[in-house]
């Protein structure tokens, strides 16, 4: 019964939305890459780099939004590396992605150790604060859940709409969707598959880094090792779950986060106390695998995903 | 630009790009060392000295290379068949778990009896660990990259749960740590007085065994065929899914041997920090070895040397040890590029 | 047809090399406004490379392309498109997940413009499709269209971009004779408006029907040309191949018992590809059965069933009088079926395997080549070397990766691999596609020799001429249904075309009821 009650509290849904926010950014980023035909396994490392870059920028005195911009730029730089190797050179997207994750993670930790050599407990920053949207936040339950979040969370939701509109309502989005389905169609219309795919990976990687930055700038307020903790891999599952559609991916991320928020609360109930906490922590990963199993059969995978394109070769 | 296959690459074509890749890696690492305020020459000197400068450091490198040979083989075998097993970390822990479950008193047999049983049971545990993602791939078409990655997180939590529960050592003073193996279940040292255990020899034997399987057996032939051209393999009558499952079992078993060898040869008990990412590093080892089983030995020694050397360098020169990871990631990325350039030339359209 | 003498397109001394291969060697020719020029040449003659240069996909080493007097910047498809060059590729360049309208408008606006301008685009597409009789709904998803409809989309794509010079690469390969007539009707409307066309085809009677002039390309060079009114198909064939085409001399068949029978076999559709619908077919000893049809009408399903890759969902497969139980490629090979796959690169061979490894691909598990899971490389190599000498496979040695071989030599290795065991049933799926004339003759003679020694041969080909020349009995496949068998010489191409369009079946049904 406790569990049912939890589902009707504003604080529960507020937590779900907060947990969902970084996932939304990173899932959108991966979605853009995959729509253009590139699997970006650099996501996990790029989130680590973004988390550090945004936090470090703010820690060194820049404004919060500048920090977000710095994180995005760092993510885009890794995206440029990934896409250079996988698009014009057509290298294995699996190997390059894992390599980028490793490179981004290790260089982030290296930079962190250089920047703060003596620190044992990482310092906190003055992070994004909740902003109650007038009127809307007064709606019972829903208002406090949805409209009393930090501006960074609002940005996540705005971004979903922006990505959806660009993808389905502009020439650019059309080209991206075509590039992931049949790059020859793009080349035959005089467009550069290489430019479109690289652009998608670079922008997508920027979004992934913003997802990482959310962790340090709107959730934990500081940077520590292992903080991304597989969220990137979960986002890859969320892209599949969302059938490569921004709206469905958003829904998937929120559902997933709601489940995560629920397990945290159930842990604290008398029932949850009898179960080892690790069982609860495993749940998100099991849920991701389950989502993959359920969706893998029916999802419409972009036909040219992971297929390199070499001009003039048919 | 466009890539054009080279039909008969010259000798220079085959060697120059990889050499440039290695040089570039060293240059990048030097620049990073300079950012940390260190002299790159002394940094590399310290790494070399730390890895191979004394009998102690060489043994340390060989010990560190042992699990990497196993996980490197696990990746090399799987990647050959284009089965992307990124879950060697979980399989390693599965092997380690099986070793401590059976080896801490449940089986009280003499060494010659218990050690082979422990090794085989560890292999079995690792194989089963990878069977699930393999079946999800062959039955439901679920990408194994993500499932094997996610299982790493799940299984580590599972180990943590056991170490805080049923497997917790009552003598462990509250630490999440298993009981110690009985003395009979410990892998002996190869030479008395030298800190190097039989796990290393087992690793070398495994590499040779895998090499023979790949080049001489029908299974090896099938695995290579499936990896190179799944469609043609299926047309010819090779049961692709069965081969993938067999590959997964072999790969998982090899990774699990790393866990067995670490517990039985080095640590004696299971803790949550048994592996500092040996499973992931094995992927780099395999790629640097161009997926060749004997190359895995060389690559593992190289990678282990960098890690061991970087540890001691870090203490002496005050450069973070993560420099080693950066070097390996850079080497990996540049190496795959270089290997491609040995077979293709970049031309303008 | 060429009423005006305005030069719409001129190619000036185009040269392009790939490594040591000279794909185009100082190729020059021009096309006038409203003129149709057919580009003829065997596979590998350099047609595709030339068209890719013209369309800006490749950059020529030297030479230039001019459209209405304006020289095009090299290697820039966008400029070629803007200048009015359009191209319909043999393999359609359409994205299945997009609608017809999205495919047509893709790339027509600057990428960064904020809107798609959908209503104006829609009006233009509808106007064009009405004017040129290209019926297709702008809102349909391309993935759900038939092959004929997809081609209409491709042509609309070009017309939408105000094409003035249209390149058509093998446009009729996927059409029935009747659909081809419709295509030609559309093209004539556009030609009357001043469109110039470069028409690439192997089908000489079509070339005679639509083209004003022919340019022949051989080994990368222009080796001849003629006005169609001054020539005939026989002369064209000779020009194209450099030798007179010799139709194979086929002795009368002497058919024996049915070695393999499909009895009422049906298989489910796979995506857009139709499965089989109640197909009954007997393969007899000493007989070549030819399967004619437009590609994508169930040939793949039939080949898969015969070759052991697909099981019958309904009906049964009977081998030597006994229904087969478990049906797999391996059982098919063991039952003595030789399988020559449709695509030798993708399914017939493993490019990075050497010739030895490819030679044993179907039978590495037999006692001949392995014992208890261990391969016998010496015997395998002997086997490969036997094939190399007996079937005249030109290669540096049995340890050469097969990807380095030419298509013809690759096909010879496959022939050797499947014929060495003296099979009773031979499935030849597009056995000569992409081969030069010498290799074609070799493959055909091997198939005829196998027939004459008593094997049953099933020849699947999209080339109606090939089917008619070799087959003792012809079946037509259309939308997964199989026509009755027609004896050699009993049908004209036009009559077969009716069946290929799926129309004969209805009459047959009417008769039955």
CATH number for position C262 = 3.40.50.300
Task: Please write the tens of the pLDDT for every residue from C252-280.
Answer: 888 889 999 999 999 999 877 889 999 99
State yes or no: pLDDT of C513 exceeds 50: no
Q: Which residue from A minimizes the CA distance to C97?
A: A181
Distance CA B309, CA A175 (A): 49
Least confident of B98-102, C38-42, C334-338, C384-388: C38-42
Residue C99 DSSP class? B
Q: What's the pLDDT band for C507 if we cut at 50, 70, 90? A: low
Residues 6+ apart with CB under 8 A from C65: C9, C10, C11, C12, C14, C53, C54, C71, C72, C74, C80
**Residue C498 near residue C294 (C-beta atoms within 8 A):** no
Q: DSSP H helical segments within B104-229, as ranges?
A: 111-140, 144-164, 198-216, 218-228
Task: Please write the tens of the pLDDT for every residue from C437-488.
Answer: 778 888 999 999 999 999 999 999 988 888 999 999 999 999 899 999 999 9
DSSP chain A: -HHHHHTT-HHHHHHHHHHHHHHHHHHHHHHHHHHTT---TTHHHHHHHHHHHHHHHHHTT--HHHHHHHHHHHHHHHHHHHHHHHTTS---HHHHHHHHHHHHHHHHHHHHHHHSTT-SSPPP-------PPTTGGGSTTHHHHHSSS-HHHHHHHHHHHHHHHHHHHSHHHHHHHHHHH-HHHHHHTT--HHHHHHHHHHHHHHHHHHHHHHIIIIISSS--TT-STTHHHHHHHHHHHTTT-HHHHHHHHHHHHHHHHHHHHHHTSTTGGGS-HHHHHHHHHHHHHHHHHHHHTTS---TTTT----TT--
User: Rounded to the nearest 5°, which phi and psi values hold at C167?
Assistant: -100, 125
Q: Which residue from A minimizes the CA distance to C56?
A: A190
Q: Which residues of A touch C97 (CB under 8 A)?
A: 177, 181, 300, 302-303
Tell if the CB–CB gap between C333 and B237 is shorter than 8 Å.
Answer: yes
Residues C174 and C282 in one domain: no
Q: What's the pLDDT band for C246 if we cut at 50, 70, 90? A: low
Neighbours, chain C (3 or more CB pairs < 8 A): A, B
State yes or no: pLDDT of C139 exceeds 90: yes
C17 near B CB under 8 A: no
The Cα of C343 is separated from the nearest Cα of chain B by a number of Å equal to 9
With CA atoms as reference, report the closest residue to A152 among A61, A53, A17, A9: A17
Tell if the CB–CB gap between C113 and A186 is shorter than 8 Å.
Answer: no
Q: What is the pLDDT of residue C512?
A: 46
State yes or no: pLDDT of C247 exceeds 70: no
Task: Please write the tens of the pLDDT for every residue from C74-102.
Answer: 888 899 999 999 999 888 899 999 999 99
State yes or no: pLDDT of C2 exceeds 50: no
Q: What is the pLDDT of residue C4?
A: 52
User: Which domain, by its residues, includes C103?
Assistant: 7-241
- Segment holding C425, helix H or strand E: strand C425-429
State yes or no: pLDDT of C343 exceeds 80: yes
With CA atoms as reference, report the closest residue to A221 among A118, A157, A284, A130: A130
Residues C268 and C152 in one domain: no
- Over residues C156-161, the mean pLDDT reads 94
Distance CA B87, CA B79 (A): 12
Residues C209 and C277 in one domain: no
In a domain, C505, yes or no: yes
A243 near C CB under 8 A: no
Q: What is the pLDDT of residue C398?
A: 93
Tell if the CB–CB gap between A182 and C87 is shorter than 8 Å.
Answer: no
Q: How many CB atoms lie within 10 A of CB B180?
A: 20
Distance CA C49, CA C45 (A): 9
C396 near B CB under 8 A: no
pTM: 0.91
Taking CA atoms, A308 is separated from A87, A304, C401, in Å, by 7, 8, 23
| Interface residue ranges in chain B relative to chain C, Cβ cutoff 8 Å | 4, 6-7, 216-219, 221, 224-225, 228-229, 231-237, 348-349
Q: What is the pLDDT of residue A314?
A: 40
Q: Which residues of A touch B84 (CB under 8 A)?
A: 94
Q: Which residues of C touch A300 (CB under 8 A)?
A: 97
Which member of C328, C333, C352 has the closest CB to residue B228? C352
Residue B39, classed as helix, strand or coil, is coil
* Percentage of chain C modeled with pLDDT above 70: 96
Q: DSSP H helical segments within C308-406, as ranges?
A: 329-334, 355-359, 377-390
Q: What's the pLDDT band for C501 if we cut at 50, 70, 90? A: confident
Least confident of A73-82, A217-226, A302-311, C156-165: A302-311
Place of tokens 């639509």: C210
Q: Which residues of B touch C335 (CB under 8 A)?
A: none
Q: Which residue from B minimizes the CA distance to A283?
A: B154
Q: What's the pLDDT band for C243 if we cut at 50, 70, 90? A: low
Tell if the CB–CB gap between C106 and A178 is shorter than 8 Å.
Answer: yes
Taking CA atoms, B218 is separated from C367, C374, C377, C400, in Å, by 12, 6, 11, 20
Place of tokens 């517990």: B263
Q: What is the pLDDT of residue A1?
A: 57
Mutation to test the C interface, candidates B217, B232, B291, most C Cβ within 10 Å = B232
Q: Which residues of A touch C105 (CB under 8 A)?
A: 171, 174
Most confident of A123-137, C87-101, C377-391, C392-406: C377-391
Q: Which residues of A touch C111 (CB under 8 A)?
A: 171-172, 175, 191
Is the ipTM above a cut-off of 0.85? yes
Q: Which residue from A minimizes the CA distance to B86?
A: A98
Residues 6+ apart with CB under 8 A from C206: C172, C180
Tell if the CB–CB gap between A170 and C115 is shorter than 8 Å.
Answer: yes
More confident residue, C240 or B305: B305
**Residue A196 near residue A175 (C-beta atoms within 8 A):** yes
Q: Which residues of B touch C421 (CB under 8 A)?
A: none
Tell if the CB–CB gap between C89 and A314 is shorter than 8 Å.
Answer: yes
State yes or no: pLDDT of C29 exceeds 80: yes
Place of tokens 């030849």: C428
Tell if the CB–CB gap between A175 and C107 is shorter than 8 Å.
Answer: yes
In a domain, C408, yes or no: no
Q: What is the pLDDT of residue A123?
A: 87
Residues C269 and C162 in one domain: no
Residues C184 and C268 in one domain: no
Q: What is the pLDDT of residue C253?
A: 83
Neighbours, chain B (3 or more CB pairs < 8 A): A, C
The Cα of B164 is separated from the nearest Cα of chain A by a number of Å equal to 9
State yes or no: pLDDT of A105 exceeds 50: yes
**Residue B92 near residue B73 (C-beta atoms within 8 A):** no
Task: Provide the number of structural domains found in chain C.
Answer: 2
Q: Which residues of A touch B326 (CB under 8 A)?
A: 103, 106-107, 110
Q: Which residue from A minimizes the CA distance to C80?
A: A190
Name the stretches of chain B with pLDDT < 70: 349
State yes or no: pLDDT of C176 exceeds 80: no
Mutation to test the A interface, candidates C47, C49, C55, C106, most A Cβ within 10 Å = C106
Task: Please write the tens of the pLDDT for every residue from A41-71.
Answer: 999 999 999 999 999 999 999 999 999 999 9
Distance CA C448, CA C454 (A): 10
Taking CA atoms, C447 is separated from C43, C407, C432, in Å, by 22, 18, 11
Distance CA B225, CA B217 (A): 12
| Structure token digits, residue C167 | 């390149």
Tell if the CB–CB gap between A312 and C57 is shorter than 8 Å.
Answer: yes
Distance CA C325, CA C86 (A): 53
Domains of chain A listed by start with CATH number? 2-115+148-296 (1.10.3470)
Q: Which of C241, C268, C302 is the last residue of a domain?
A: C241
Q: Which of C207, C241, C275 is the last residue of a domain?
A: C241
Taking CA atoms, C379 is separated from A229, C360, C375, in Å, by 54, 10, 9
Tell if the CB–CB gap between C77 and A190 is shorter than 8 Å.
Answer: yes
In a domain, C2, yes or no: no
- Segment holding B175, helix H or strand E: none
For chain A, state the CA radius of gyration. Answer: 20
* Percentage of chain A modeled with pLDDT above 70: 97
Mean pLDDT rounded to a whole number for chain C: 89
Tell if the CB–CB gap between C81 and A191 is shorter than 8 Å.
Answer: no
Which member of A41, A100, A278 has the closest CB to residue B157? A278
Tell if the CB–CB gap between C97 and A186 is shorter than 8 Å.
Answer: no
Burial class of residue C113, CB neighbours in 10 A (0-12, 13-18, 19+): exposed
């Amino acid at each position: 019964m406790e569990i049912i009650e939890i589902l009707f509290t504003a604080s529960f849904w507020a937590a779900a939305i907060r947990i969902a926010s970084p996932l939304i950014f990173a899932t959108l980023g991966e979605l853009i890459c995959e729509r253009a035909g590139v699997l970006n396994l650099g996501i996990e490392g790029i989130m680590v780099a973004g988390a550090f870059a945004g936090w470090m920028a703010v820690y060194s005195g820049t404004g919060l939004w500048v920090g977000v911009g710095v994180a995005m730029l760092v993510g885009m730089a890794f995206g440029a590396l990934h896409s250079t190797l996988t698009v014009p050179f057509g290298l294995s997207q699996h190997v390059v992605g894992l390599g980028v994750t490793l490179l981004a993670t290790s260089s982030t930790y290296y930079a962190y150790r250089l920047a703060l050599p003596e620190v044992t407990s990482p310092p906190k920053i003055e992070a994004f604060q909740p902003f109650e949207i007038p009127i809307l936040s007064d709606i019972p339950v829903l208002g406090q859940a949805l409209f009393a979040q930090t501006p960074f969370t609002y940005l996540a939701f705005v971004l979903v709409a922006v990505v959806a509109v660009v993808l389905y309502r502009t020439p650019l989005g059309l080209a991206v969707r075509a590039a992931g389905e049949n790059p020859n169609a793009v080349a035959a219309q005089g467009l550069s598959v290489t430019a479109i795919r690289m652009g998608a990976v670079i922008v997508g990687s920027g979004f992934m880094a913003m997802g990482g930055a959310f962790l340090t700038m709107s959730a934990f307020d500081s940077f520590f090792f292992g903080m991304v903790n597989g969220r990137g891999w979960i986002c890859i599952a969320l892209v599949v779950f969302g059938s490569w559609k921004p709206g469905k991916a958003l829904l998937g991320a929120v559902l997933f986060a709601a489940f995560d928020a629920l397990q945290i609360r159930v842990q604290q109930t008398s029932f949850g106390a009898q179960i080892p906490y690790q069982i609860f922590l495993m749940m998100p990963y099991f849920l991701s695998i389950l989502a993959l199993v359920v969706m893998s059969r029916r999802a419409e995978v972009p036909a040219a995903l992971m297929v390199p394109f070499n001009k003039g070769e048919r | 630009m466009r890539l054009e296959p080279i039909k008969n690459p010259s000798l220079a074509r085959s060697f120059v790009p990889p050499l440039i890749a290695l040089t570039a890696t060293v240059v990048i690492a030097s620049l990073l060392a300079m950012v940390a305020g260190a002299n790159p020459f002394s940094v590399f000197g310290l790494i070399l000295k730390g890895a191979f400068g004394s009998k102690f450091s060489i043994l340390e490198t060989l010990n560190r290379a042992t699990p990497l040979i196993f996980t490197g083989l696990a990746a090399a075998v799987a990647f050959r068949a284009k089965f992307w097993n990124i879950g060697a970390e979980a399989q390693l822990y599965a092997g380690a778990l099986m070793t401590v479950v059976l080896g801490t008193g449940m089986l009280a047999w003499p060494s010659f009896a218990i050690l082979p049983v422990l090794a085989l049971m560890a292999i079995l545990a690792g194989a089963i660990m990878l069977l699930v993602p393999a079946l999800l791939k062959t039955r439901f078409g679920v990408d194994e990259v993500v499932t094997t990655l996610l299982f790493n997180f799940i299984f580590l939590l599972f180990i943590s749960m056991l170490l805080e529960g049923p497997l917790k050592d009552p003598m462990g003073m509250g630490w999440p740590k298993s009981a110690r193996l009985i003395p009979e279940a410990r892998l002996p040292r190869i030479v008395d007085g030298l800190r190097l255990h039989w796990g290393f020899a087992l690793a070398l034997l495994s590499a040779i065994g895998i090499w023979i399987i790949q080049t001489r057996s029908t299974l090896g032939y099938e695995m290579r065929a499936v990896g190179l051209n799944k469609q043609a393999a299926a047309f010819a009558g090779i049961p692709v899914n069965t081969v993938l499952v067999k590959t997964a079992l072999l790969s998982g078993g090899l990774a699990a041997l790393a866990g067995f060898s670490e517990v039985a040869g080095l640590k004696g008990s299971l803790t949550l920090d048994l592996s500092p990412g040996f499973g992931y590093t094995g992927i780099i080892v395999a790629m640097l070895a161009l997926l060749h089983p004997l190359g895995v030995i060389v690559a593992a020694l190289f990678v282990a040397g960098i890690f061991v050397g970087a540890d001691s360098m870090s203490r002496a020169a005050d450069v973070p040890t993560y420099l080693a990871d950066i070097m390996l990631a850079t080497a990996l990325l540049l190496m795959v590029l270089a290997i491609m350039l040995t077979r293709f030339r970049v031309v303008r359209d | 047809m060429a009423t005006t003498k305005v030069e719409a397109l001129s190619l000036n001394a185009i040269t392009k090399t790939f490594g040591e291969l000279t794909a185009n060697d100082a190729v020059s020719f021009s096309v006038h406004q409203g003129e149709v020029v057919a580009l003829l040449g065997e596979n590998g003659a350099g047609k595709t490379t030339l068209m890719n240069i013209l369309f800006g996909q490749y950059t020529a080493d030297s030479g230039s392309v001019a459209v209405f007097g304006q020289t095009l910047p090299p290697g820039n498809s966008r400029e070629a498109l803007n200048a009015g060059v359009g191209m319909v590729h043999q393999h359609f360049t359409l994205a299945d997940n997009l609608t017809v309208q999205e495919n047509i408008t893709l790339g027509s606006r600057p990428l960064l413009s904020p809107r798609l301008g959908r209503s104006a685009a829609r009006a233009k597409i509808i106007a064009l499709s009405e004017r040129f009789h290209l019926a297709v709904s702008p809102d349909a998803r391309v993935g759900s269209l038939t092959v004929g409809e997809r081609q209409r989309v491709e042509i609309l794509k070009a017309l939408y971009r105000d094409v003035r010079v249209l390149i058509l690469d093998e446009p009729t390969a996927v059409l029935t004779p009747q659909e081809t007539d419709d295509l030609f009707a559309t093209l004539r409307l556009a030609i009357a408006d001043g469109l110039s066309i470069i028409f690439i085809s192997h089908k000489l009677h079509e070339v005679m029907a639509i083209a004003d002039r022919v340019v022949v390309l051989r080994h990368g060079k222009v080796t001849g040309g003629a006005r169609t009114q001054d020539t005939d198909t026989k002369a064209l064939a000779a020009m194209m191949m450099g030798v007179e085409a010799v139709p194979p001399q086929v002795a009368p068949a002497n058919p024996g018992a049915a070695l393999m029978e499909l009895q009422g076999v049906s298989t489910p559709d796979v995506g857009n590809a139709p499965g089989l619908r109640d197909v009954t077919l007997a393969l007899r000893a000493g007989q070549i059965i030819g399967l004619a049809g437009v590609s994508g009408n169930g040939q793949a399903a039939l080949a898969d069933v015969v070759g052991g890759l697909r099981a019958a969902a309904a009906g049964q497969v009977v081998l030597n009088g006994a229904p087969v139980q478990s049906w797999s490629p391996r059982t098919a090979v063991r039952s003595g079926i030789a399988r020559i796959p449709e695509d030798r690169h993708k399914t017939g061979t493993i490019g990075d395997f050497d010739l030895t490894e490819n030679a044993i691909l179907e039978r590495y598990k037999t006692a001949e080549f392995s014992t208890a899971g261990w391969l016998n490389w010496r015997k395998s190599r002997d086997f490969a070397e036997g094939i190399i000498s007996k079937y005249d496979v030109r290669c540096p040695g049995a340890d050469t990766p097969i990807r380095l071989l030419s298509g013809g030599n690759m096909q010879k290795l496959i022939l050797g691999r499947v014929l060495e065991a003296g099979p009773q049933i031979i499935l030849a799926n597009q056995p000569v596609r992409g081969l030069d004339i010498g290799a074609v003759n070799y493959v055909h003679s091997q198939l005829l020799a196998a027939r004459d020694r008593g094997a049953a041969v099933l020849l699947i080909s999209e080339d109606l001429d090939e089917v008619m020349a070799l087959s003792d009995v012809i079946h037509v496949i259309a939308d997964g249904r199989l026509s009755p068998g027609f004896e050699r010489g009993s049908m004209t191409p036009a009559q077969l075309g009716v069946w290929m369009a799926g129309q004969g079946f209805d009459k047959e049904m009417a008769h039955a009821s």
